Amino acid sequence: MAQLFFKYGAMNSGKTIEILKVAHNYEEQNKPVVLMTSGLDTREGVGMIASRIGLKRPATPIFAETNVFDYIKGLDFQPFCVLVDESQFLQKHHVIEFAQVVDELNIPVMAFGLKNDFRNELFEGSKYLLLYADKLEELKTICWFCHKKATMNLHFIDGKPVYEGDQVQIGGNEAYYPVCRKHYLHPDALDDSM
């Protein structure tokens, strides 16, 4: 029976590598998958899933007006799985449509993304995935500044922590660090070697 999965983690927790690995494993067995990603993430170009270690693949971009259920239902093949990167940028209707893909088309959907933003607020997509997903899995990484588990994303501009601003600010290692609660709440405890 198909399920909706939400696999979340802080920056650098290997979400994109995991999605590419899952796609490879299905395709190696001649089981086609559909790769999708947010149209908001343009770091490697619209519709590109790219990991920090250099692996990348094209994917179908999801925009605000995209109806993902209609898109999947209209394909000329039956995918074995739908894999969604940057799922934190989904809107509520996208999450409900992915739930319909699972429930009505019996196709598993695995969504990968951040849970919380640099302000430590839930993203819209993450909020509704936490509510609608059948299975939740945290992908873990360590704090940039110590050995504890990273659960938050600390945003830096000009070497200074930033806690306010627009929720969606696309960036990678140059702008965001995975951090533990202590280093998120106490920027004065940060290592000077940044």
Any binding-site annotation on 167? no
Q: Is 70 annotated as a binding residue?
A: no
Q: Degrees (nearest 5) of the Cα angle 8, 114, 117? A: 145
Question: Residue 104 catalytic?
Answer: no
How far apart CA 154 and CA 51 sit, in angstroms, is 19
Cα–Cα–Cα angle for 2, 121, 138, rounded to 5 degrees: 40
Task: Give every CB contact of residue 20 below 8 A, 6+ residues apart in sequence.
Answer: 49, 51, 55, 57
Query: Per the annotation, does 33 bind a ligand?
Result: no
Q: Is 22 annotated as a binding residue?
A: no
Q: What are phi and psi of 161, to 5 degrees?
A: -65, 140
Q: Is 125 part of any known ligand binding site?
A: no
Instruction: Spot the catalytic one: 18, 27, 65, 86.
Output: 86
The reply, when asked if residue 100 is annotated as ligand binding, is no
Q: Is 171 within any annotated ligand binding site?
A: yes
Consult the annotation and say whether 183 binds a ligand: yes
* 168 is known to lie in a ligand binding site: yes
**Helices 92-105 and 124-132: crossing angle, nearest 10°?**
30
Q: Is 178 left (phi over 0), alpha (psi -120 to 50) or beta?
A: beta
Q: Is 133 annotated as a binding residue?
A: no
Query: φ, ψ for residue 20 (rounded to 5)?
Result: -70, -35
Which amino acids are annotated as binding site for Zn(2+), given as ranges? 143, 146, 180, 183
Which amino acids are annotated as binding site for substrate, given as ranges? 168-171, 176
Which amino acids are annotated as binding site for ATP, given as ranges? 9-16, 85-88
Q: Where in the sequence numbering do the catalytic residues fall?
A: 86
